[in-house]
């Protein structure tokens, strides 16, 4: 790639690019932060609601012709008010998701390398250690980039800290979670439910996921809104144009 000057990633995550090699070759790498924050945060909340109220199970129940009238114990979910929303990775998207969760009356805790003063001020969020968050949170939402440090951050030991009535939401990267171990815990109901927008080996999904009735599976659509995808394309194009004109990129990695 002796002529390559810039790799403009159409997305905020850049684990699909060998950034170190690009740096050695003096190839500029850019991504598209900010423009997909709201869309991805919205989807994290959608997954949370879907799991909390058993939306997919209930819809399938109706479509299969099993609904024969109101029943007091039919698909009992859980309310969000006064529940603890735990954010792992309090960056742009994690912050936006936390603010949305707070609007439901949820209490916010977060795990992050840096203190998020904005979250503390706006929603009175508390910074906690990862183990503490996993033990306390009713809903856990992942918002970390995939790095060598975050690969299988939620391994078997960490996953076993999660409460049996808790819900895990992942709109970040599948490889952050040891998916095989998570599936085993979901099978045994040692974790109540999980909402996946990303998977460890996508697009090759673990077939055991299709056998579970306590998971909500989406095809990596976190940023899939007309607004976000349009702005991602524009930002990627503007980054390329800037570099080819000899200017600094707008959003360099």
Give yes or no: 175 in active site.
no
For residue 23 the two structure tokens come to 């740096």
Beta bridge partners of 109: 86, 126
**Dihedral sign, CA of 217, 222, 224, 226?**
positive
Phi, psi (degrees; rounded to nearest 5) at 28: -80, 135
Cα separation, 218 vs 215, in Å, equals 10
Report residue 105 CA to chain centroid gap.
21
The β-bridge relationship of strands 193-196 and 215-217 is parallel
Range list of H helices, the chain = 19-24, 37-52, 55-63, 92-102, 117-123, 130-136, 156-159, 179-187, 226-244
Instruction: Out of 100, 143, 173, 200, pick the active-site residue.
Output: 173
Instruction: Out of 92, 102, 163, 220, pick the active-site residue.
Output: 220
With both helix axes pointing from N to C terminus, report the angle between 92-102 and 37-52 in degrees, rounded to the nearest 10. 50
Report residue 12 CA to chain centroid gap.
12
Give yes or no: 202 in active site.
yes
Give yes or no: 229 in active site.
no
Instruction: Out of 181, 202, 229, 238, pick the active-site residue.
Output: 202
- 138: nearest Cα among 95, 105, 96, 107: 107
Please list the active-site residues. Answer: 173, 202, 220
């Amino acid at each position: 790639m002796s002529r390559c000057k810039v790799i403009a990633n159409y997305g905020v995550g850049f684990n699909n690019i060998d950034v170190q090699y690009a740096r050695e070759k003096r190839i500029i790498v850019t991504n598209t932060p900010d423009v997909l924050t709201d869309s991805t945060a919205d989807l994290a909340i959608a997954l949370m609601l879907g799991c909390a109220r058993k939306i997919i199970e209930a819809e399938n129940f109706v479509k299969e012709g099993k609904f024969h009238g109101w029943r007091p114990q039919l698909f009992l979910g859980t309310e969000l008010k006064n529940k603890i929303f735990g954010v792992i990775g309090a960056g742009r998207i994690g912050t936006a998701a936390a603010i949305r969760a707070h609007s439901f009356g949820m209490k916010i805790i977060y795990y992050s390398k840096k203190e998020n003063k904005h979250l503390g001020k706006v929603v009175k969020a508390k910074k906690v250690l990862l183990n503490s968050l996993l033990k306390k949170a009713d809903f856990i939402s992942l918002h970390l980039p995939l790095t060598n440090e975050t690969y299988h951050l939620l391994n078997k030991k960490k996953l076993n800290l999660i409460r049996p009535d808790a819900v895990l939401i992942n709109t970040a990267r599948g490889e952050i979670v040891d998916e095989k171990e998570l599936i085993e815990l979901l099978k045994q109901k040692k974790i109540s439910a999980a909402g996946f927008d990303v998977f460890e080996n996508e697009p090759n999904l673990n077939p055991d996921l299709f056998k579970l009735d306590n998971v909500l599976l989406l095809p990596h659509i976190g940023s899939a809104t007309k607004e976000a995808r349009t702005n991602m394309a524009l930002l990627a194009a503007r980054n390329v144009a800037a570099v080819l004109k000899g200017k600094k990129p707008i959003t360099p990695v």
